[in-house]
């Protein structure tokens, strides 16, 4: 007797579940994470035409439309996409997709959904996250207003520049939090760099270091007071850039899912 799902309908075969997992994850990579069809294909180990067929509905249209609206299924798909993008080449795409297919088959649309009531709760964003986002944006916006007020009170251009710098940073922080919000709302906690390559980042590191020149040429040690504060602000930004680019090199790139050609950010001592 053929197996049935919770609704008494014939259960999909294991091969169909793998294709469903491929199709749903392909859509999440492109529509949720912003990857191109080519990048999604590299990540999943599929040709771009297969990704295109999943996206346009030419392949498994009815099953994908049916299961992609289920929140538990969406949670599995999000976790699988994140796992593929952060696996650092330690797990084969096939193994990850097989695990996802097995999990989907055990869910409400699969063979084990009847009577157990053991479906997993989807990864909804926590209320604490939402509250933190609102507080952080409001706090950064208040800091911008206060810094601009102090800048207007300042009597010289250099002091005004200090407060304008802090205001600019606070405004950028608010923009970053606002950009993170829709991802957190969808339960996404990790993404990868898209549209760039590891070589792009490495070239930028080299250019940043070349632009700074030799520490012996720096007038920084001779500066004092507010002039020194502004100089330290610039140097702090350069150290931050080094840190961010080094972190970026350690993450995953859709165009380089196996980390080929990875190198660490070159060491470059900062001026005191």
Instruction: Report residue 12's pLDDT band, with 50, 70 and 90 as the boundaries.
Output: low
The pLDDT tens digits of the residues spanning 139-178 come to 888 888 898 889 889 999 999 999 988 988 888 888 888 8
Q: From the centroid of its chain, how far is CA 131?
A: 21
What pLDDT is attached to residue 10?
A: 42
- Alpha-carbon gap, residue 51 to 44, rounded angstroms: 9
Instruction: Calculate the alpha carbon distances from 81 to 26, 84, 96 in Å.
Output: 8, 5, 9
Name 238's Cβ contacts closer than 8 Å, sequence gap at least 6.
Answer: 208, 212, 270
Arithmetic mean of pLDDT over the chain: 74
Torsion of CA 256, 260, 264, 266, to 10 degrees: -100
The pLDDT tens digits of the residues spanning 87-138 come to 544 456 777 778 888 887 776 544 443 333 333 334 444 567 777 787 888 8
Mark out the alpha helices in the chain (DSSP H runs): 14-27, 37-44, 48-56, 61-67, 71-86, 93-106, 127-153, 157-185, 198-212, 225-250
Structure tokens at 127: 């209320």
Angle between helices 93-106 and 14-27 (to 10 degrees): 110
Output the pTM of the full model.
0.51
Q: Do residues 198 and 262 touch, judged by C-beta distance below 8 A?
A: yes
């Amino acid at each position: 007797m053929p197996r049935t799902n919770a609704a008494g309908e014939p259960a999909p075969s294991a091969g169909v579940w793998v294709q469903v997992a491929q199709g749903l994850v392909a859509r999440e990579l492109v529509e949720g994470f912003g990857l191109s069809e080519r990048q999604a294909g590299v990540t999943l180990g599929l040709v771009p035409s297969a990704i295109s067929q999943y996206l346009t509905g030419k392949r498994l249209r009815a099953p994908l439309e049916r299961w992609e609206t289920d929140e538990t299924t969406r949670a599995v798909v999000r976790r699988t996409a994140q796992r593929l993008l952060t696996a650092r080449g330690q797990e084969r795409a096939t193994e990850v997709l097989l695990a996802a297919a097995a999990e989907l088959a055990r869910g409400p649309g699969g063979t084990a959904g009847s009577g157990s009531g053991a479906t997993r709760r989807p990864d909804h964003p926590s209320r604490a996250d939402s509250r933190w986002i609102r507080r952080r944006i409001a706090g950064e916006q208040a800091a911008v207003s206060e810094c601009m007020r102090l800048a207007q009170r300042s009597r010289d251009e250099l002091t005004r520049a200090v407060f304008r710098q802090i205001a600019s940073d606070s405004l950028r922080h608010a923009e970053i939090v606002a950009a993170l919000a829709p991802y957190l709302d969808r339960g996404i906690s990790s993404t990868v760099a898209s549209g760039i390559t590891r070589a792009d980042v490495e070239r930028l590191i080299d250019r940043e270091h070349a632009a700074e020149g030799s520490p012996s040429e720096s007038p920084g040690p001779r500066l004092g007071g507010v002039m020194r504060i502004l100089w330290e602000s610039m140097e702090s930004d350069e150290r931050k850039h080094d840190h961010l680019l080094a972190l970026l090199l350690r993450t995953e790139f859709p165009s380089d899912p196996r980390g080929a050609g990875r190198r660490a950010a070159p060491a470059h001592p900062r001026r005191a």
